[in-house]
C-alpha cells in the first residue's frame, strides 16, 4: 500500500505503529557540527601501576583451612580444633614474626584434620557393621543351626 508508512520493527509489536512523538533520527543538537568528527575519537587512557607484595618462595605457608572444614563433617570436635588451628595459621602468616608459629599451627591443623577424618570414618564403619552386617551374619548362623 502506498499511503501506509513502512514500519521495520521486529518482535511482538511489528504490526503496530510507533507511539506518538517517536522519531527515527536524533535531535539536531546531537548531530555533529561542521568542525566535529563524525565518529568519536579515542580517549586518553591513564594506566597507574598497582602495588605488588613480594614474598619469598619459602614464606608460603599452607593454612589447611579447607581440609579442616571438611573434617568437621567426620568428627565435629576434632574438626573444630583443626579449623581453629588453621584459622590461627592463616592470621599469623601475614603478621611480622609470626611465620614460624604459622608453620607450627598449619602442621597441627593438618594433623587434627586427618585425625578427625580417620576417627569419623572408623566410627561410621563400626556403626554400619554393628547395625547392618553383624545382625545379618548372626541371623544366618542361627538359621543354619535350627534346621
If you search the block for the grid coordinates 514500519, which residue do you land on? Answer: 7
Residue tagged 580444633 (cell numbers): 81
pLDDT band at 5 (very low <50, low <70, confident <90, very high): low
Highest average pLDDT, of 2-6, 14-18, 102-106, 117-121, comes from 117-121
Q: Which pLDDT belongs to residue 40?
A: 64
Query: What is the DSSP code (8-state) at residue 52?
Result: -
Grid coordinates in use for 87?
Answer: 584459622
Tell me, what's the pLDDT at 25? 65
- Helices (H) then strands (E): counts for the chain: 4, 0
More confident residue, 71 or 5: 71
What pTM value is reported for the model?
0.57
What pLDDT, on a 0 to 100 scale, did the predictor assign at position 19? 75
In whole angstroms, what separates CA 104 from the centre of its chain? 28
Q: What's the distance, CA 73 to chain centroid? A: 19
The stretch 35-50 carries a mean pLDDT of 71
Cell 501506509 locates to 4
The grid cell for 82 is 583443626
Per-residue pLDDT of 56-93, as tens digits, reads 655 678 889 999 999 999 999 999 999 999 999 999 88
What is the model's pLDDT at position 61? 83
The pLDDT value given to residue 144:
77
Kindly calculate the radius of gyration of the chain based on its CA atoms and give it in whole angstroms: 36
**What whole-number distance in Å separates Cα of residue 22 and Cα of residue 29?**
17
Comparing CA positions, the residue from 78, 56, 55, 52 lying closest to residue 67 is 78
Task: Report whether pLDDT(26) > 90.
Answer: no
121-133: per-residue pLDDT in tens? 999 999 999 999 9
The predicted model gives 106-126 an average pLDDT of: 96
Give the pLDDT of residue 75: 94
Amino acid at each position: 500500500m502506498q499511503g501506509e508508512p513502512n514500519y521495520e520493527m521486529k518482535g511482538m509489536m511489528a504490526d503496530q505503529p510507533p507511539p506518538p512523538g517517536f522519531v527515527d533520527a536524533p535531535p539536531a543538537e546531537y548531530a555533529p557540527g561542521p568542525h566535529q568528527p563524525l565518529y568519536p575519537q579515542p580517549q586518553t587512557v591513564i594506566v597507574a601501576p598497582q602495588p605488588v607484595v613480594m614474598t619469598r618462595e619459602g614464606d608460603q605457608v599452607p593454612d589447611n583451612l579447607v581440609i579442616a572444614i571438611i573434617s568437621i563433617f567426620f568428627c565435629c570436635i576434632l574438626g573444630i580444633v583443626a579449623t581453629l588451628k588453621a584459622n590461627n595459621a592463616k592470621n599469623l602468616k601475614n603478621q611480622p614474626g609470626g611465620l614460624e608459629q604459622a608453620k607450627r599451627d598449619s602442621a597441627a591443623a593438618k594433623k587434627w584434620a586427618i585425625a578427625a577424618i580417620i576417627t569419623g570414618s572408623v566410627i561410621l564403619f563400626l556403626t554400619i557393621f554393628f547395625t547392618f552386617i553383624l545382625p545379618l551374619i548372626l541371623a544366618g548362623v542361627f538359621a543354619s543351626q535350627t534346621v
